[in-house]
């Protein structure tokens, strides 16, 4: 696997591990924190919405990369491969694609709640809904980060399709 992929996956795994430990500690030392019930339907519905949004981002990313690649090949003042590589680096397309695909994989896997039995064993059944809520919050934060990367990607793409802007980026 690629190093950024491993780093992103490790960060997610560590955050989930910390969340499981926090749930265990909260159930043991501060059970009143877990007394407020959170809706499991919210977590399930949110995961579907997050996945749809992420797939939309990846679709636009794919089309934009294709269009920019074609445009740069037709530009007489550019060295095709250099401009395409410059575009990939400047737009954070690698990072956005990696993060988007990994978030999609995590969201699909999380539909089966693989850590739920561990949370129930460590912290009790009461804390499962609490854990689902905070997992959804982590996924929402990751999606917001991807939206930020997507905004940067779109701004760079719109600048890059203009030959003058592309020439300035080459400098």
Q: What's the pLDDT tens digit per position in 39-62?
A: 556 777 888 899 999 999 999 999
Where would I find the beta strands (DSSP E) of 66-165? Answer: none
Residue 120 burial (C-beta neighbours within 10 Å; 0-12, 13-18, 19+): middle
Residue 66 burial (C-beta neighbours within 10 Å; 0-12, 13-18, 19+): exposed
- pLDDT in the model for residue 43: 72
Tokens linked to 92 = 């954070």
Average pLDDT, the chain: 83
- pLDDT in the model for residue 82: 77
- The whole-number average pLDDT for the span 100-125 is 86
Tokens linked to 19 = 């969340």
Encode pLDDT of 92-103 as tens digits. 999 999 999 999
For Cα atoms 24, 27, 31, give the angle at the middle one, nearest 5 degrees: 160
Check residue 114 and report its DSSP letter.
T
- pLDDT in the model for residue 63: 92
């Amino acid at each position: 696997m690629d190093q950024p992929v491993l780093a992103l996956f490790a960060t997610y795994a560590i955050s989930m591990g910390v969340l499981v430990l926090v749930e265990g500690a909260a159930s043991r030392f501060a059970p009143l924190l877990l007394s407020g019930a959170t809706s499991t339907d919210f977590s399930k519905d949110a995961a579907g919405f997050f996945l749809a949004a992420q797939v939309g981002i990846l679709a636009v990313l794919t089309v934009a990369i294709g269009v920019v690649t074609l445009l740069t090949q037709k530009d007489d003042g550019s060295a095709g491969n250099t401009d395409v590589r410059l575009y990939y680096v400047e737009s954070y397309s690698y990072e956005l694609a990696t993060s988007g695909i990994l978030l999609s994989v995590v969201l699909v896997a999380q539909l089966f709640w693989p850590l739920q039995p561990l949370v129930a064993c460590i912290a009790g059944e009461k804390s499962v809904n609490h854990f689902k809520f905070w997992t959804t919050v982590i996924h929402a934060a990751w999606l917001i980060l991807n939206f930020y990367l997507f905004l940067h990607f779109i701004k760079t793409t719109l600048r890059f399709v203009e030959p003058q802007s592309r020439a300035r980026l080459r400098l």
